[in-house]
Amino acid sequence: MTSKRSFSAKNGIDSKQKIWMWILSILTMLLMYPAVLIIYLNRILAWYPTETPVQKRIFGYQMKEAVCDALGYRESLIFCALGVVFAIGIFSFLNNRSKVDLIKSLPVKAKKMYASEYVSGVIICLIPYLVCTLLSVAISTGWGYFTALAAKECVITFILNTIVFLIYYNLTIVCICLTGNMFVAFGGVMAVSFGPYLIVSSLEEMKYLFFKSADAYFADNGKLLAPFLYTQDFSYQIKELNDIAKEMAMILPSLIWWAVAAVILTVLSYVCFIKRPAEAMHKAIWSKSIRTIVKLILIPAAAIVVSMITYQTSAQSKWIMVVSAIITAILAGFMIEAIYSFDIRAAFKSLRSTGLGALIAIAVLVIYFFDLTGYDRYVPKSGDIESYAVETNTNMYSDFYEIEGPDGEDMSMYQGIRWINSSSYKKEHMFLNDCEAISRLAGICNEKALLEDDTLINSTNISVLYRLKSGRKVTRSIRVDLDDAESLELLNRIVKNDGFLENTFASVAQKDKLDKINAAVSYSNGVGSEPVSMNPSDIIDLWLDDAEAFDYSLGYGQFPCGVLNFTMNGGLTYQLPVYENFKATINAVKKDGSYLAAEFDAADVDRVIVTNYHNEVWENGGEYYGDPSVSETIEDPEDIKEILKNTVPSNLYKVWEGSSEGDGYSVMAFFNNEYEYSRKGESFMFRFTGDVPEWVKELTDL
Amino acid sequence: MIEIKELNKSFDDIKAVDNVSFDIKEAEVFGLIGTNGAGKSTILRILSGVYKQESGIALIDGNEIYDNPEVKKNVFFISDEPYFWPNSTAQTMGEYYAGLYDSFDMDAYGKYIEAFRLDKDRKINTYSKGMKKQLAMLLGICSKTKYLLCDETFDGLDTVMRQAIKSMLAKEIEDRKLTPVIASHNLRELEDICDHIGLLHQGGILLSKDLEDMKLNIQKVQCVFKDEADKEKALNGVEIANENKRGQLYTFTLRTTREEAMARFSSVDTIFYEVLPLTLEEIFISETEVAGYDIKKILLG
Domain count, chain A: 3
- CA A661 to chain centroid, in Å, comes to 31
Look at residue A322 and tell me if it is in a domain: no
User: What whole-number distance in Å separates Cα of residue A558 and Cα of residue A546?
Assistant: 15
Domain final residue, candidates A257, A286, A315: A286
Helix or strand (DSSP H, E) at A576 = strand A573-578
**For the stretch B86-106, what's the b/e string if a residue is b when 16 or more beta carbons lie within 10 angstroms of its beta carbon?**
eebbbbbbbbbbbbbbeebbe
Look at residue A312 and tell me if it is in a domain: no
Show which of residues 50-69 on chain B sit within 8 Å of chain A, judged by CB atoms.
50-52, 67, 69
The mean per-residue pLDDT over the stretch B260-282 comes to 86
Q: Is A3 at the interface with chain B, CB within 8 A? A: yes
Looking at A475-520, list the stretches that DSSP marks H as alpha helix, in order from N- to C-terminal side.
485-495, 498-504, 506-509, 511-516
- CA A565 to chain centroid, in Å, comes to 26
CA distance B232 to chain A (A): 57
| Orientation of helix A148-178 relative to helix A231-238, angle to 10° | 170
CB < 8 Å to A5, chain B: 99-100, 102
Rg for chain B, CA atoms, rounded: 22
SS3 state of residue B254: strand
The answer to whether A67 and A157 are in contact (CB under 8 A) is: no
Q: B221 pLDDT exceeds 50?
A: yes
Q: What is the DSSP letter of B35?
A: -
Cβ-defined contact of B81 to A5 (cutoff 8 Å): no
Identify the sign of the CA torsion A656, A658, A662, A667.
positive
Domains and CATH numbers, chain B: 2-210 (3.40.50.300), 214-299 (3.30.70)
The answer to whether A684 and A646 are in contact (CB under 8 A) is: no
Q: B297 pLDDT exceeds 90?
A: no
The answer to whether A496 and A548 are in contact (CB under 8 A) is: yes
Whether residues A571 and A617 share a domain: the answer is no
Nearby residues of B77 by Cβ (< 8 Å), 6 or more positions away: A101, A105, B44, B45, B47, B48, B50, B149, B151
Whether residues A100 and A58 share a domain: the answer is yes
Cβ-defined contact of A101 to B101 (cutoff 8 Å): no
Nearby residues of A400 by Cβ (< 8 Å), 6 or more positions away: A420, A421, A422, A425, A506, A574
Conformation bin of residue A694: beta by default, left when phi > 0, alpha when psi is -120 to 50? alpha
How many residues does the structure list for chain A? 702
Kindly give the pairing relationship between strand B204-210 and strand B219-225. unpaired
CA distance B105 to chain A (A): 15
Cβ-defined contact of B73 to A2 (cutoff 8 Å): yes
User: What whole-number distance in Å separates Cα of residue B285 and Cα of residue B293?
Assistant: 9
Helix or strand (DSSP H, E) at A563 = strand A562-567
Q: From the candidates A7, A8, A99, A106, which should be mutated to test the interface with B, based on the most B CB atoms within 10 A?
A: A106
CB < 8 Å to A105, chain B: 45, 48-50, 72, 75-77
* pLDDT > 90: percent of chain B: 38
Whether residues A236 and A154 share a domain: the answer is yes
CA distance B84 to chain A (A): 8
The answer to whether A588 and A534 are in contact (CB under 8 A) is: yes
CB < 8 Å to B99, chain A: 5-6, 8-10, 12
Whether residues A25 and A124 share a domain: the answer is yes
Whether residues A496 and A553 share a domain: the answer is yes
Q: Is A276 at the interface with chain B, CB within 8 A? A: no
Half-sphere exposure of B243 (CA within 13 A, CB side): 6
CA distance B163 to chain A (A): 26
Geometric angle at alpha carbon A184, from A182 and A188, rounded to 5°: 110
Geometric angle at alpha carbon A254, from A253 and A260, rounded to 5°: 90
Q: Is A343 at the interface with chain B, CB within 8 A? A: no
Look at residue A632 and tell me if it is in a domain: yes
User: What whole-number distance in Å separates Cα of residue A214 and Cα of residue A63?
Assistant: 48
Look at residue A346 and tell me if it is in a domain: no
Whether residues A654 and A507 share a domain: the answer is no
In chain A, the N- to C-terminal Cα span, in Å, equals 89
Confidence at residue B113, expressed as pLDDT on a 0 to 100 scale: 93
Whether residues A444 and A536 share a domain: the answer is yes
User: What whole-number distance in Å separates Cα of residue B250 and Cα of residue B55?
Assistant: 49
CA distance A145 to chain B (A): 47
**Partner-chain residue, chosen from B69, B83, B99, that has the shortest CB–CB distance to A98:** B83
Nearby residues of B42 by Cβ (< 8 Å), 6 or more positions away: B9, B16, B17, B51
The answer to whether A601 and A672 are in contact (CB under 8 A) is: no
Confidence at residue A221, expressed as pLDDT on a 0 to 100 scale: 57
Whether residues A199 and A128 share a domain: the answer is yes
Q: What is the DSSP letter of A21?
A: H
The answer to whether B282 and B289 are in contact (CB under 8 A) is: no
**Partner-chain residue, chosen from B95, B98, B100, that has the shortest CB–CB distance to A107:** B100
CA distance B73 to chain A (A): 5
Cβ-defined contact of B69 to A107 (cutoff 8 Å): yes
* Nearest C-alpha neighbor of B214 from the set B280, B259, B275: B280
Confidence at residue B293, expressed as pLDDT on a 0 to 100 scale: 61
Whether residues A558 and A502 share a domain: the answer is yes
Kindly give the pairing relationship between strand B249-255 and strand B239-246. antiparallel
Q: Is A464 at the interface with chain B, CB within 8 A? A: no
Domain final residue, candidates A286, A312, A331: A286
CA distance B12 to chain A (A): 9
Whether residues A64 and A39 share a domain: the answer is yes
Below-50 pLDDT ranges, chain A: 1-4, 395-399, 404-414, 655-658
Q: What is the DSSP letter of A396?
A: S
Q: Is A46 at the interface with chain B, CB within 8 A? A: no
Confidence at residue A405, expressed as pLDDT on a 0 to 100 scale: 41
Looking at A211-243, list the stretches that DSSP marks H as alpha helix, in order from N- to C-terminal side.
231-238
Domain final residue, candidates A551, A572, A592: A592
Look at residue A118 and tell me if it is in a domain: yes
Q: Is B125 at the interface with chain A, CB within 8 A? A: no
Confidence at residue A407, expressed as pLDDT on a 0 to 100 scale: 38
Show which of residues 198-237 on chain A sit within 8 Å of chain B, judged by CB atoms.
none
Q: How would you class A61 by CB atoms within 10 Å of its CB: exposed for 0-12, middle for 13-18, buried for 19 or more?
A: middle
Look at residue A408 and tell me if it is in a domain: yes
CA distance A5 to chain B (A): 6
Q: Is B247 at the interface with chain A, CB within 8 A? A: no
Report the chain A residue with the minimal C-alpha distance to residue B9: A279
SS3 state of residue A103: helix
Q: Is B83 at the interface with chain A, CB within 8 A? A: yes
Q: B171 pLDDT exceeds 50?
A: yes
Phi, psi of B44 (to 5 degrees): -65, -40
Q: Where are the beta strands (DSSP E) in chain B?
A: 2-11, 14-24, 30-34, 55-60, 63-64, 75-78, 147-151, 179-184, 196-201, 204-210, 219-225, 239-246, 249-255, 270-276
Whether residues A575 and A612 share a domain: the answer is no
Cβ-defined contact of B100 to A98 (cutoff 8 Å): no
**Number of other CB atoms surrounding residue A111 within 10 Å:** 12
Q: Is A20 at the interface with chain B, CB within 8 A? A: no
User: What whole-number distance in Å separates Cα of residue B301 and Cα of residue B293?
Assistant: 13
Q: Is B171 at the interface with chain A, CB within 8 A? A: no
Q: Where are the beta strands (DSSP E) in A85-208?
A: none
DSSP letters along A237-284, please?
HHTT---HHHHHHHHHHHHHHHHHHHHHHHHHHHHHHHH--GGGTTSS
CA distance A166 to chain B (A): 27
* Nearest C-alpha neighbor of A696 from the set A641, A635, A634: A634
**Partner-chain residue, chosen from A13, A99, A277, that has the shortest CB–CB distance to B83:** A99
Whether residues A176 and A80 share a domain: the answer is yes
Q: Is A8 at the interface with chain B, CB within 8 A? A: yes
**Which residues are registered as beta bridge partners of B208?**
B198
Q: What is the ipTM of this complex?
A: 0.85
**Number of other CB atoms surrounding residue A413 within 10 Å:** 15
Look at residue A293 and tell me if it is in a domain: no
**Partner-chain residue, chosen from B95, B100, B102, that has the shortest CB–CB distance to A106:** B100
Look at residue A492 and tell me if it is in a domain: yes
Q: What is the DSSP letter of B123?
A: B
CB < 8 Å to A18, chain B: none
Cβ-defined contact of B11 to A108 (cutoff 8 Å): no
Cβ-defined contact of A2 to B87 (cutoff 8 Å): no
Largest CA distance in chain B: 73
Kindly give the pairing relationship between strand B75-78 and strand B63-64. unpaired
- CA A235 to chain centroid, in Å, comes to 13
CA distance A339 to chain B (A): 16
CA distance A10 to chain B (A): 7
**Number of other CB atoms surrounding residue B15 within 10 Å:** 16
User: What whole-number distance in Å separates Cα of residue B108 and Cα of residue B142?
Assistant: 7
* Nearest C-alpha neighbor of A375 from the set A475, A481, A479: A475
**Partner-chain residue, chosen from A6, A100, A102, that has the shortest CB–CB distance to B99:** A6
User: What whole-number distance in Å separates Cα of residue A238 and Cα of residue A252?
Assistant: 11
* Nearest C-alpha neighbor of A666 from the set A695, A700, A635, A618: A700
**Partner-chain residue, chosen from B72, B92, B95, that has the shortest CB–CB distance to A107:** B72
Q: Is B129 at the interface with chain A, CB within 8 A? A: no
**Partner-chain residue, chosen from A3, A105, A279, that has the shortest CB–CB distance to B77:** A105
Domain that holds residue A547: 382-592
Report the chain B residue with the minimal C-alpha distance to residue A99: B83
In chain B, the N- to C-terminal Cα span, in Å, equals 33
Phi, psi of A598 (to 5 degrees): -80, -15
Report the chain B residue with the minimal C-alpha distance to residue A98: B83
Q: Is A282 at the interface with chain B, CB within 8 A? A: no
